[in-house]
Structure 1
């Protein structure tokens, strides 16, 4: 070490060379007894003599620094080596570029590539791949194409020419497809086919298919499947199937997806967990849970093992369809398969059992949550508050609110809305108003349109037009936008009170604030307005709102 220290002195008679660096850094790396700071310091001392560790060792160290989130130190070392004109190659720069690419630090990547070019350090095929991949992922496809054009055909330090391969083309085609530039993606495919030893593969065509599906061009996507087989002899795979089935479920409906899936199965392309998940979720979203169960059974027959997502989708579907017994059966299947319910599934089930007024099952779900050590969220508490509010069990409502606060969850606008509605339904408008006033003072939660509508509707039903209109004016003062439900409640009250002038004013106001009426609005107004002049005004109102 004393000899090495003498060699590394600024005016050393025997300065280090590449062989010295190889010996020293081999020992440093093998021993693993030095900190990153010590190694970095040693590299910088060698750098002052224009000497760098060999490319393999330096790349390894730069990678280590990047893994430890020390990209600044990595760049400082490479910059210092460049300044001292130490011989460098592309690999250590590629290691740093890879790290910056994962962070989507495009500016940092550009700085490195520019500096490499300035210092005469030649990029290689790996540099090309890293740059275009990162640029495409950040939707900067034009820049990716520019880099592709600049680097292809250039010579590397080893004397080889950078040649684009299928991975590079696939990355660019995928990038173009993701931003909807399908014509350019197709043109690039034509160019790819002309390249020597660079044929398109399944991934290439899957990128195109995904692009057309994203754009809703489902027939074109199906044509690409035919092309890949007929023109290039490439067989579609499960990804091809899943991409089109997913696109059809999003844009064309489940029936089209089922038909395509059946066709592909006949041709030997088997579905996997993803295929069945997409179909089951689509069926549930379309409120066709029986069809969803059909595909669940088909999935089991095919030998695919369902994952938790599929069970959650079925539970959600049955909860939306209010089929509690079927939902419970799916929960039993889920548990037998070794999965557990998450909070979202518990919330759906609690909501279902509350709607079914099945207190026993609600209690069972809450016990399960506690045993699973899952912390309830605002949705859980709001559902329970709504349930007990409908039962007029306000003592339980208060207890749940206290428990909610104990768990660090402040009642939100939904919580207050649920309780205010419960008080109104129970005919206790005074308690509802008390809580309404308490919102802004104690909790700092501002009432929204829904809460105002609940109160306006309650006062309208009581025939208290003055209070209902006062709340509507308060909405204006507090910049809470009224909606069609607000006006419908007021129109009903005005109808009962025969307040035609006020009703006409509200019609004008509704048009002024661009609040679109619905069928209920027109039905109420037609009952209120009967004279020829009134009907003319109603016709104009209807024409204004198309």
Structure 2
């Protein structure tokens, strides 16, 4: 409710009983950052002086963090360059800047920021090292990450926190160094660091990946002994592991156990199984689980629809895919552009023109069809083979690309003249009446009854040439 919030903030300018505290504006900037409104965050920062509020490093850090969330790295640099007029940067300021460099995949720049803070006498903390170690692990520079873990203790007397250990364990599991990851887990226990479900979930995923699923039971028992209750992420890791081994019965057992233990499965739990079903060609099973999701109090999301739609298209199950597509559009979802292209291409190969028309009509109504798919639909070979259908239907739906739209509408106009006295069908009349203003080509009474023949070679002309040719012909008139 930003509009209402801003009204209240505006009233603070006239407040005389107290001076608004800086924390108010820090929170507002954080809200703008989370809402991906960086310009409003900057405006709020600039307006603080009009509220008689002194800007300090806290408000500067709040603004930098909001810009970081919005990935406005250039604006962050501009703010930091002029920071001296407000305050001296602290460790939090540099942690934000290091994180920005890491997110930009600029590790050299992150080290430069680290060196700068050292030169200014600012002592790094666990967040500083955690950010650098996480970035090194994400880039699989694990040797450097492990050395930095030792360096932070010996040189700066900063103990690694749980985030550092989890980052290292995830990186090690990615490269199948599971034994070393387990040693880090033991080190966490020795240092009396609380192990959360994320640590164990990472290990469970890695155990399945390297074919050591027999050890998963021991990990679950250790979790319970340490007072760490398995959460949805833990169970999803097990479901994913069993599905990748094609052990769907065990995956469903985990799904049922979740409900028994009071841990409600989320949409990811079902998406994982549906995805693996589709990969195995078990389309009926995938569709049954998809239809059962609402009964299990977990309605499918856009990812679920896309997984099933892609799987059905890959398996040439176009009839079932059409039903899923219609339901997606009805719910306001959209398939990926490449999936639509493959789907329409598959219908082309089956020469099911009516099905293509139905699908494209639905896509056009949902405004989720791209230029490449239209280009396939109005391609020369298909126009020549099915010109009676294409001319009367597809050309009426083009509205985004105005140049192509004029050309294709004109082609439809010319093709329809082959049978001058044939009245438009009820379906086509309804489509014409439903078109938005500006889509139907301009008409002229001078073209009524105009006859002409069409040569098939016309379709081999470039669209621009066709468009110019069409400009020389009068319109057939309103209603034709």
Compute the TM-score of the two structures, normalised by the length of structure 1: 0.56
Q: Answer whether contact 2:169 2:184 (CA < 8 A) is retained.
A: yes
Residue 282 of structure 1 aligns with which residue? 100
Deviations 1:468-517 (A, max 9, x none): 22212221322321234433443344346544332222222223344332
1:352 aligned residue (153, 168, 171): 171
CA distance in 2, matches of 1:449, 1:237: 44
Residue 291 of structure 1 aligns with which residue? 109
Q: Does 1:464 align with 2:282?
A: yes
Q: Answer whether contact 1:491 1:524 (CA < 8 A) is retained.
A: no
Residue 478 of structure 1 aligns with which residue? 296
Q: Kindly report the root-mean-square deviation, in angstroms, between the aligned alpha carbons of the 2 structures.
A: 3.6
Closer/same/farther in 2, CA of residues 206 and 506 from structure 1, 3 Å limit: closer
Question: 1:207, CA displacement in angstroms?
Answer: 7.7
SS at match of 1:511: helix
Question: 1:245, CA displacement in angstroms?
Answer: 4.0
Residues 49-198 of structure 1: matches in 2 within 5 Å? 181-188=8-15
Moved more, 235-244 or 290-299: 235-244
Closer/same/farther in 2, CA of residues 465 and 359 from structure 1, 3 Å limit: closer
Aligned residues: 352
Closer/same/farther in 2, CA of residues 448 and 240 from structure 1, 3 Å limit: closer
Residues 306-325 of structure 1: matches in 2 within 5 Å? 306-325=124-143
SS at match of 1:325: helix
Closer/same/farther in 2, CA of residues 469 and 248 from structure 1, 3 Å limit: closer
Residue 81 of structure 1 aligns with which residue? none
Residue 494 of structure 1 aligns with which residue? 312
Question: 1:297, CA displacement in angstroms?
Answer: 0.9
Question: 1:236, CA displacement in angstroms?
Answer: 7.0
Q: Answer whether contact 2:195 2:228 (CA < 8 A) is retained.
A: no
Residue 385 of structure 1 aligns with which residue? 204
Closer/same/farther in 2, CA of residues 186 and 250 from structure 1, 3 Å limit: farther
SS at match of 1:458: helix
1:253 aligned residue (72, 82, 99): 72
Deviations 1:91-134 (A, max 9, x none): xxxxxxxxxxxxxxxxxxxxxxxxxxxxxxxxxxxxxxxxxxxx
Residue 359 of structure 2 aligns with which residue? 538
SS at match of 1:318: helix
Q: Answer whether contact 2:318 2:343 (CA < 8 A) is retained.
A: no
SS at match of 1:477: coil
SS at match of 1:476: coil
Q: Does 1:327 align with 2:157?
A: no
Specify the structure having the higher radius of gyration (Cα). Answer: 1
1:405 aligned residue (224, 228, 231): 224
Question: 1:393, CA displacement in angstroms?
Answer: 0.9
Q: Answer whether contact 2:101 2:109 (CA < 8 A) is retained.
A: yes
2:185 aligned residue (350, 354, 366): 366
CA distance in 2, matches of 1:331, 1:478: 45
Closer/same/farther in 2, CA of residues 293 and 474 from structure 1, 3 Å limit: same
Residue 339 of structure 1 aligns with which residue? 158
Any stretches of 5+ residues in structure 1 without a counterpart?
Answer: 1-176, 193-197
CA distance in 2, matches of 1:506, 1:279: 45
CA distance in 2, matches of 1:456, 1:288: 38
Deviations 1:303-351 (A, max 9, x none): 1111222222323333344432332243223212112122232222211
CA distance in 1, matches of 2:137, 2:231: 24
Q: Answer whether contact 2:322 2:359 (CA < 8 A) is retained.
A: no
SS at match of 2:200: helix
CA distance in 2, matches of 1:469, 1:529: 21
Question: 1:213, CA displacement in angstroms?
Answer: 5.0
Any stretches of 5+ residues in structure 2 without a counterpart?
Answer: 33-38, 368-480
Residues 489-528 of structure 1: matches in 2 within 5 Å? 489-495=307-313, 498-528=316-346
Moved more, 298-307 or 242-251: 242-251
Q: Answer whether contact 1:491 1:503 (CA < 8 A) is retained.
A: yes
Question: 1:379, CA displacement in angstroms?
Answer: 1.0
CA distance in 1, matches of 2:44, 2:317: 60
Q: Answer whether contact 2:170 2:202 (CA < 8 A) is retained.
A: yes
Question: 1:429, CA displacement in angstroms?
Answer: 3.2
